[in-house]
Structure 1
Amino acid sequence: MRFLDSRSRPFKRVDRRKNILKMRNTSCLRLCLTIMTVTGVWLPTALKCSHLRYIYYIFAFMYHLLFVLPIIYMEFGVLYQVLGNIEQMANTSLLLVTHIAQCVKICVMWYKQDEIHSLLVTLDSSTFTREDSNKKQILKDVIQTTYTVSKVFISLVVITGIFWGIYPMLKPTLDLPIQYPNIPPEYKIFPFVYLYQIVNLTITAIAIASIDFLVGASMALVSAEMDILSYELSLVGKINKKDDKGNTDIKRDYVIIISCVEFHENIIKFVKDLEKIFGFPVFFQFFTSAIIICETAFRITNSTETIELLAMVLYFMCIITELLMYCYYGDLLKRKSERVVEMAYCCNWENTDVRTQRALLLLMQRAQRTLVLRAGNMFELSMMTFSAILKTSYTYFTVLNERRKA
């Protein structure tokens, strides 16, 4: 029995390794894709060529009709009631601006659904997949880290939604979280409207987070592909073998360089397609983020209740994390693309023939143009942009605070 047990354990380990090797690049997206499917944003691949897709279209239409549009209508109703009151307008427009940005993202997701499908297929294709164990390890680390980030981000959003539902209950006078329509707490319909708003706000927040994470994770995976490209360039001139006469086989270097050139072009094309699809919604998100951060900070400084303060701080953290995810991964992609030139220069190119050196020079000339993602062709996704948005938000906050004191 001991012999059988000792022999059975290694087979389990081998199976786990095989599962890792079979891990798809888009495995880190399975949580956000599932959420988008449930919230009527993402058509499952299995239904794309099936007649059942029409049933999903009906489900998506009904979901947005019952959950997305009513919440925006309620927020506009509250905004209309508090026109002229700076503090109340800031509190009301906080969620309204967030949900308008969500509508923009949903429209883009549906309008360019096929293009997004193609991007995900490209990520899992042989173009972006390597058989070498070292290259697989690079992708594996990024996939696992990105998936962990998705779970933490979604958990933060869920906790924020729960606190948004709790703090109205602790007020001296019980109100609806959105405070529209004007239903007194003693009415029998009040608990149902209250529950509807809380569930709606939480689910909507999760849907927004999943769309944002789809873009961020795609940038993270492309950054990993840049690392693989740099690793392949480091092999140039190092793996040549000599025959019995002492001659070096340099054909393999040329094959590697040509492969790197094609790989680099595929990465560039993927980034351009990603920018073409999500450039405008990301630009709109950045534009509204400055307003949202300003209004959240304004509400935090004027909050007098502990639970409400905690809910606003959590919401502030969600917005900052959302913005930071775009800027950090965009900045990471920029730095990884700059490293390609360095790795091409530092490889053992002097051990290669002339045509290999010419191909390498061609790659270096193209790689000198830093690969960046731009939001609406206006500004690039980087930590510099993140700092600029925070400075702009602080300026708005100062003006808003001065108006309130006046």
Structure 2
Amino acid sequence: MKILTEHFTILRYCGLWLPEGWTGSIKNIYHLFMLSMVFMYLSFSASCLMELILSLKNIEDAVNSGVMTFTFLLVCAKIINLIFKRRGIIKVCQYLEMDLCQPKNDKEEMIILESNLRARGILKIFGLIVLGAVGSITCGSIIENMSMRALAFNARLPYYNTGGFGFWITYFHQHIGHAYGGVIGCTADSLFYGTLIHICGQLKILKYRLSNYSDILKIAKKHNNLKINHDQDYEWKFIRDCVNHHLLIIKLSNVTNDIFSFVIFLQFSLTVMILTVTIQTMSKLSILSLKFLYTFLYFSCILGEIFFFCWYGNEVTLESLDIVKAISNGDWQSYTLNTQKCLVIFMARAFTPIVFTSGHVVTLTLVSFNSLLKMSYSAYNLLSQVA
């Protein structure tokens, strides 16, 4: 079973995912490609950060330029995270490809297929939102800035960049870096969403198995000629596999949380400021203006990014809590006494939900999303009163 193939294909074309099996000169060439792409984006982000630091005397300019600069720095963190957490990401895929996670019948095949379609769908949906934001900012810069020889983003560079060859080099460097950052940010986030979707799929498979033991036993008898005196052996193996499957899902969730928690923590930490300043900016613009359009699309990207984090994290938590219900709905009368004792212990463990956290501070739930919106609104009101 191939997991999140579209996501890894995009990362490979962007120079951040060396395909397994590549060795020798082709591997070295790919590493050079990766270094060039990373350097291109880091240099772009560093020039914007330097301008932000040197413009702190003017608070309004610093705040406005800081919104985009912090977004670029978030993408830098995601790039570094993808490079240094590569082994962990591979381990997540290996967990999902283990035999316990493989579908055993048509119903489970449908669950896996649904998970694949949802993971692919969120990549397309979020990708279109990001593409709209990046495209509108690029078009706006071409229309408004190019004729005035003004850069799309404020940047401090060690050479003359307000005219001539230096301007055009910087101008295209910024737009290439901006587009590259949009693709990486979208793909890295969708990789996390897709992993959570597949974890939900595994929890659904486990719930199906626990709730439909009698039907699964009948299918096993039909296909494997299972004899009556072997029922107890099959039952014990079935329960053991379910327990191991649950433990594997917990391990998978912990590894996934360790990989992405720091980046999500940064995202949550900066989102309140970004949303507040963006809303404040839109409130001063005409709805029919081009700047309002791309500011609104940028706002949608940031808001959608956090919402999907919380939505899918919340979905995993709810699915994990339903394991207890699935166990209680099982055919207890057909179980042996030892199996019933094992299931009671299983239920006690399943009462603890799987919870994803950002930096072990904020939990990925819809409650956290509502709290973040309230904080942003409060900050916006405070900023409006001060202004």
Match 1:199 to one of 176, 182, 186:
176
Q: 3-state SS of the aligned residue for 1:293?
A: helix
Q: For residues 23-74 of structure 1, what are the alpha-carbon distances to aligned partners after superposition, in whole Å with 9 as ceiling and x for unaligned?
A: x351xx2232122222232222232x55533322222112121x21222233
Please name the residue that 2:124 is paired with: 151
Deviation at 1:158, TM superposition (A): 1.6
Please name the residue that 1:361 is paired with: 344
**Inter-CA distance 52–287: structure 2 relative to 1 (3 Å threshold):** same
**Inter-CA distance 32–296: structure 2 relative to 1 (3 Å threshold):** farther
State the alpha-carbon separation in 2 of the partners of residues 355 and 329 from structure 1: 36
Deviation at 1:146, TM superposition (A): 1.7
Please name the residue that 2:94 is paired with: 121
**Across the two proteins, how many residue pairs are aligned to each other?**
375
**Inter-CA distance 109–184: structure 2 relative to 1 (3 Å threshold):** closer
Please name the residue that 2:359 is paired with: 376
Check the 8 A contact 1:236/1:349 in 2, yes or no. no
Unaligned runs of 5+ in 1: 1-23
State the alpha-carbon separation in 2 of the partners of residues 50 and 324 from structure 1: 43
Deviation at 1:135, TM superposition (A): 0.2
State the alpha-carbon separation in 2 of the partners of residues 339 and 384 from structure 1: 19
Q: Percent identity?
A: 23
The answer as to 2:30 corresponding to 1:56 is yes
Residue pairs, 1:213-362, within 5 angstroms: 213-237=190-214, 249-304=231-286, 306-362=289-345
State the alpha-carbon separation in 2 of the partners of residues 84 and 399 from structure 1: 21
Q: For residues 343-371 of structure 1, what are the alpha-carbon distances to aligned partners after superposition, in whole Å with 9 as ceiling and x for unaligned?
A: 10111112211011112112111101111
- Which AA in structure 2 matches 1:362? I
Q: TM-score, normalised by structure 2?
A: 0.89
State the alpha-carbon separation in 2 of the partners of residues 106 and 318 from structure 1: 18
Deviation at 1:240, TM superposition (A): 5.5
Unaligned runs of 5+ in 2: none
Check the 8 A contact 1:229/1:260 in 2, yes or no. yes
Deviation at 1:87, TM superposition (A): 2.9
- Which AA in structure 2 matches 1:278? F
The answer as to 2:109 corresponding to 1:136 is yes
Match 1:386 to one of 365, 369, 375:
369
Please name the residue that 1:36 is paired with: 11
- Which AA in structure 2 matches 1:262? N
Q: 3-state SS of the aligned residue for 2:151?
A: coil
Please name the residue that 1:400 is paired with: 383
**Inter-CA distance 238–117: structure 2 relative to 1 (3 Å threshold):** closer
Please name the residue that 1:21 is paired with: none
The CA RMSD measured in Å over matched residues stands at 2.5
State the alpha-carbon separation in 1 of the partners of residues 327 and 384 from structure 2: 53
State the alpha-carbon separation in 2 of the partners of residues 402 and 335 from structure 1: 40
Check the 8 A contact 2:44/2:173 in 1, yes or no. no
Q: 3-state SS of the aligned residue for 1:43?
A: coil
Please name the residue that 1:74 is paired with: 47
- Which AA in structure 2 matches 1:363? F
The answer as to 2:186 corresponding to 1:177 is no
Please name the residue that 2:167 is paired with: 190
**Inter-CA distance 314–54: structure 2 relative to 1 (3 Å threshold):** same
Check the 8 A contact 1:25/1:221 in 2, yes or no. no
**Inter-CA distance 25–336: structure 2 relative to 1 (3 Å threshold):** farther
Deviation at 1:309, TM superposition (A): 0.5
- Which AA in structure 1 matches 2:197? A
- Which AA in structure 1 matches 2:82? M
Check the 8 A contact 1:237/1:352 in 2, yes or no. no
Q: 3-state SS of the aligned residue for 1:45?
A: coil
**Inter-CA distance 188–400: structure 2 relative to 1 (3 Å threshold):** same
- Which AA in structure 1 matches 2:263? P
Check the 8 A contact 1:240/1:250 in 2, yes or no. no
Please name the residue that 1:5 is paired with: none
- Which AA in structure 2 matches 1:136? E
State the alpha-carbon separation in 1 of the partners of residues 7 and 217 from structure 2: 44
| Segment of structure 1 superposing worse, 346-355 or 326-335 | 346-355
Q: 3-state SS of the aligned residue for 1:46?
A: coil
Q: For residues 189-209 of structure 1, what are the alpha-carbon distances to aligned partners after superposition, in whole Å with 9 as ceiling and x for unaligned?
A: 534432332222111111111
Check the 8 A contact 2:271/2:302 in 1, yes or no. yes
State the alpha-carbon separation in 2 of the partners of residues 95 and 219 from structure 1: 28
Deviation at 1:238, TM superposition (A): 5.0
The answer as to 2:27 corresponding to 1:45 is no
